[in-house]
């Protein structure tokens, strides 16, 4: 019966791809072109302090970026489901093993949006993987991470606490990772509450340079080196530049 209703609705308002708005099938969130681009996306490992393994399914660009925008700003559930399925399709088999823990949104922004992208992806990831989910993390209101310079994000991460008992093995879930400051704050809170293993999975990573280069111990080391070079350039006499 549900399939009949979906078919009838598609005749009145043909379904559109949530990213490019091209026509698509009644059960497809993406058109064939966007689906192919998503399937071709390359996962990446991300270096985050306090997290045993941090992994992203795609780069935050193109179709992946469009899906995130549809979830976060369009308040659409089907793209959240597709993001979770992509994580399941591409993630190493042993990675999603433990209790799924969504990265919490700031209370003010959650009230303004009425929707939490990370939690919606986590719900679907929990259903698909068979892992239980607990929303045990709480986040205090503070400056928006979006648009803040990298240095500010790293120097002043969100304040995150655990309500109740932390799972022994936690799988943090978020829509996008940029600097890793939020994931690191969540991992610190979970470990302080007794978690022994903390991994993180995100649908997208927003920067190419999140992966460590040979010889680097952390992304923070790279940021410090870059900031030091910028300061040296600014203080160097003009005639020597």
How far is the CA of 124 from the CAs of 34, 62, 133, 149, in angstroms? Answer: 21, 23, 10, 32
Using alpha carbons, select from 132, 121, 45 the residue that is nearest to residue 88.
121
- Looking at per-residue pLDDT, the higher value among 193 and 229 belongs to 193
Distance (Å, rounded) from C-alpha 152 to C-alpha 175? Answer: 21
pLDDT at residue 14, rounded to an integer? 75
117-165 tens-digit pLDDT: 899 999 999 999 999 999 999 998 655 555 554 555 554 568 899 998 8
CA atoms within 13 A on the CB side of 150: 15
82-96 tens-digit pLDDT: 999 999 999 988 899
pLDDT at residue 183, rounded to an integer? 95
Residue intervals of the chain classified under CATH 3.40.50 are 42-211
Mean pLDDT, the chain, as a whole number? 81
CATH of domain 42-211: 3.40.50
For the chain, how are helix, strand and coil distributed in percent, rounded to 5?
A: 45, 15, 40
Query: Is residue 99 classed as helix, strand or coil in its secondary structure?
Result: strand
pTM over 0.85: no
């Amino acid at each position: 019966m549900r399939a009949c209703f979906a078919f009838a609705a598609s005749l009145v308002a043909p379904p559109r791809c949530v990213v490019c708005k091209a026509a698509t099938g009644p059960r497809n969130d993406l058109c064939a072109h966007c689906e192919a681009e998503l399937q071709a996306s390359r996962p990446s490992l991300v270096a985050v302090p306090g997290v045993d393994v941090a992994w992203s399914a795609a780069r935050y660009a193109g179709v992946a970026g469009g899906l995130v925008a549809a979830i976060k700003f369009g308040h659409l559930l089907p793209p959240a489901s597709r993001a979770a399925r992509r994580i399941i399709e591409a993630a190493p088999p042993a990675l999603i093993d433990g209790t799924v823990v969504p990265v919490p949104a700031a209370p003010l922004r959650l009230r303004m949006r009425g929707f939490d992208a990370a939690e919606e992806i986590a719900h679907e990831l929990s259903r698909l993987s068979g892992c239980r989910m607990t929303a045990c993390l709480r986040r205090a209101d503070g400056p928006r991470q979006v648009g803040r310079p990298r240095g500010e994000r790293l120097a002043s991460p969100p304040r995150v606490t655990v309500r109740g008992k932390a799972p022994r093995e936690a799988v943090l879930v978020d829509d996008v990772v940029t600097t890793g400051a939020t994931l690191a704050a969540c991992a610190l809170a979970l470990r302080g509450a007794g978690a022994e293993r903390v991994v993180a999975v995100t649908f997208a990573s927003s920067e190419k340079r999140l992966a460590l280069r040979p010889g680097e111990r952390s992304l923070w080391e790279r940021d410090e080196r870059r900031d030091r070079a910028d300061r040296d350039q600014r203080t160097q006499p003009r005639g020597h530049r």
